[in-house]
Structure 1
């Protein structure tokens, strides 16, 4: 499944009061893992950058002089996003700014049905605890030592790791059907275990070998008897 991790930096907090996007970054995930494809643009906001905003992300007006305006990057950004779900931390903030920018240059707003708010996921998993990106990195052992200020592309890469952990850790990378195990037909699909975020597929020969081993070692196994049926 293709998903996009997205982050923006802005001149302030209120798009309705004239604040603008100054940086857009997006990282492609497939099956929860980064593919290496990224979208990253600095943007001329066509206005000043308040000092308090600079203290957050480090950008000044001089840094963005000569950069493209949002209207000049909008089509490329939308092409990269495609129709994939979009993951962002406090996603309504990023969607609100992008919607304002897209509307300003004549593009449709983003479909809110595509929005995945990792902040809400974190609050559901860790109620009553700090759930900022930095707090989640510390809790989930994601190295954020290089994050001295907000930076959209760095934050996307950190959030991609945090999101993987929120969705079940490294299990999606453990595919039993790969690297020599995928030659036979599939026998079983495990979907009901809480921490498994993707089905685990087991080839017939491996399941048969496991069943033979168990029945040889364990006599009168309960799971081989009624009402359990003929096996697991």
Structure 2
């Protein structure tokens, strides 16, 4: 895999307050440059949600209402997040969730494409017993010694997803092959279906 051929790419992760639809409480974005995570350029934002964090959400990511009371509101950080994301490609695990959450909060955001490491893992390793982030960490054993925070925080999960993406991408020859395997049909960047026979 020639990683120098890759376009600008950010691995993203979001955490919510547990409501439906969720208010964002944390966003992380980690650039991938030449086949490595660029931690020095990574960004993360804590956000004070409009509605309280539910006890269940706190039990997952550990962020409490007390911890977020001094954080900026989404209105205050949204321009920074939008500018940092720009039109780059993004990657996330189970990407529909993070893409939809960010798109709901940034309606004018238009990424060039969205890679999904869940979809990529199923294509790359069809015989794994499971495809959750924890399953892939257990089976592919990425080096997470430099991962920030802890599991289920946006910074940790973005770092872990980045390492998994790099491991899996090495099994492909070209960026286009990764795109074909990793972009869900309904998300930006999905390849056009090849013309073929169709049923009326």
- Relative to the length of structure 2, the TM-score reads 0.75
CA RMSD, Structure 1 to Structure 2 (Å): 2.1
Question: What is the SS of the residue equivalent to 1:28?
Answer: strand
CA distances 1:202-224 after superposition (whole Å, capped 9, x unpaired)? xxxxxxxxxxxxxxxxxxxxxxx
Among 2, 7, 18, the alignment partner of 2:13 is 7
Could you say which residue in structure 1 is the equivalent of 2:86?
A: 82
Runs of 4+ in structure 1 displaced over 3 angstroms? 143-149, 195-198
Larger Rg over CA atoms: 1
CA distances 1:86-144 after superposition (whole Å, capped 9, x unpaired)? 001011101111112124xxxx1444x51111111111222353111121112112145
* Conserved? CA contact 1:168–1:197, under 8 Å: no
Measure the CA separation in 2 of the matches of 1:150 and 1:144: 14
Higher relative contact order (CA 8 A, sep 6+): 2
Could you say which residue in structure 1 is the equivalent of 2:135?
A: 135
Structure 1 unpaired stretches of 5+: 170-194, 199-232
Across the two proteins, how many residue pairs are aligned to each other? 165
In the TM superposition, what is the alpha-carbon distance from 1:51 to its structure 2 partner? Answer: 0.7
Structural mapping, 1:205-216, within 5 Å: none
* Conserved? CA contact 2:9–2:32, under 8 Å: yes
Measure the CA separation in 2 of the matches of 1:40 and 1:131: 25
* Conserved? CA contact 2:35–2:166, under 8 Å: yes
| Alpha carbons of structure 1 residues 13 and 142: separation in structure 2 relative to 1, 3 Å | farther
Measure the CA separation in 1 of the matches of 2:106 and 2:82: 10
Question: What is the SS of the residue equivalent to 1:7?
Answer: strand
- Relative to the length of structure 1, the TM-score reads 0.65
Measure the CA separation in 2 of the matches of 1:65 and 1:14: 21
CA distances 1:46-93 after superposition (whole Å, capped 9, x unpaired)? 111111111110111001002111111111112211221100101110
CA distances 1:144-201 after superposition (whole Å, capped 9, x unpaired)? 58775411011111111110011016xxxxxxxxxxxxxxxxxxxxxxxxx4447xxx
Structure 2 unpaired stretches of 5+: 1-5, 176-200
